[in-house]
Structure 1
Amino acid sequence: MIDVKSAPYAALLLRVCTGALFVTHGLTKLFVFTPAGTMGFFESLGLPGWLGLATMLFEIVGGAALILGVATRLVALVAVPVLLGAAITAHWSNGFGFSNAGGGWEYPVMWAAVMAALALLGDGALAFWPLKRG
């Protein structure tokens, strides 16, 4: 059974925690790796460089949206293929463990599952602009 009193706070916790992680990853791409470095990394994987910029932008804007509770279901749903793509293109060859050199695929796959759960759960408590179903 779902505890209807605590479930909205569980969704809030997932939303804020994962949103903060997305923002952190996006800002790392922006300020540490730089846009040019991020594009170069994506190109080294055989992907178009612009996809690195799009990923960086999604992580920053999407992460902020999750923190605020803006279109949570939509952002979480879009994040699933982004994270699975990262698992396959950037981390698959590094093996399972994320502590492996270059980071394994376990972490982005787990994160994709969390995003899928959040898409199913919805905004939770204290959402700024939830998208209503129905």
Structure 2
Amino acid sequence: MHAPAHRTASLAPYGATALRWALGALFLVHGLTKLLVFTPAGTAAYFQSLGLPGALGYATIALELTLAAALLLGLFARWVGLIGVPLLLGTIDTVHGANGFSFANAGGGWEYPAFWALALLVLFCIGDGKWTLASR
């Protein structure tokens, strides 16, 4: 037995909100880990060890925390969230891709950042959901 279409449709904005908040929480945790645990200097050094500019580590911290705020608060979240897609795909190219598919593999495989990027694209398609400060 299926729920009537009007009931399912009326829940969609709440599902979009849950997705937006979950994605924002992930960016918040990752940004704060780089800021408070690894420290900005440590993050920059890690990026350099990968052959990337150290300044990209600082930019990544700022970007992850900005994405977290936009997603959690609903500040043009579906559009701002798109900025996270190349960030996550870049982690596959530079860090996780060579480690295989499973994120349980040593060094973390590419399944987690790929799914995260896909979830950001889904949010873009379905919209910001409820309780936003600014939406389009």
**Aligned equivalent of 1:10:** 15
1:91 to partner: Cα distance: 0.6
Residue 19 (structure 1) aligned with residue 19 (structure 2): no
Residue 37 (structure 1) aligned with residue 42 (structure 2): yes
List alignment gaps of at least 5 residues for structure 2: none
RMSD of aligned alpha carbons: 1.4
Retained in 2: the 8 A contact 1:18–1:66?
Answer: yes
**Aligned equivalent of 2:120:** 115
Matched letter for residue 106 of structure 2: A
Moved over 4 A (4+): none
Quick one: distance in 2 between partners of 1:21 and 1:77? 15
Which residue of 106, 109, 112 corresponds with 1:104? 109
Aligned residue pairs: how many?
A: 131
Quick one: distance in 2 between partners of 1:42 and 1:121? 34
1:122 to partner: Cα distance: 1.4
**Bigger helix share:** 2
Retained in 2: the 8 A contact 1:14–1:118?
Answer: yes
Question: For residues 19-57 of structure 1, what are the alpha-carbon distances to aligned partners after superposition, in whole Å with 9 as ceiling and x for unaligned?
Answer: 011001000000111111111111111111111111111
List alignment gaps of at least 5 residues for structure 1: none
Quick one: distance in 2 between partners of 1:55 and 1:8? 30
User: What TM-score does the superposition give when structure 2 sets the normalisation length?
Assistant: 0.91
Larger Rg: 2
Question: For residues 71-115 of structure 1, what are the alpha-carbon distances to aligned partners after superposition, in whole Å with 9 as ceiling and x for unaligned?
Answer: 112221111111100111111111111111111111000000000
Retained in 2: the 8 A contact 1:19–1:64?
Answer: yes
**Aligned equivalent of 1:74:** 79
1:125 to partner: Cα distance: 0.8
**Aligned equivalent of 2:68:** 63
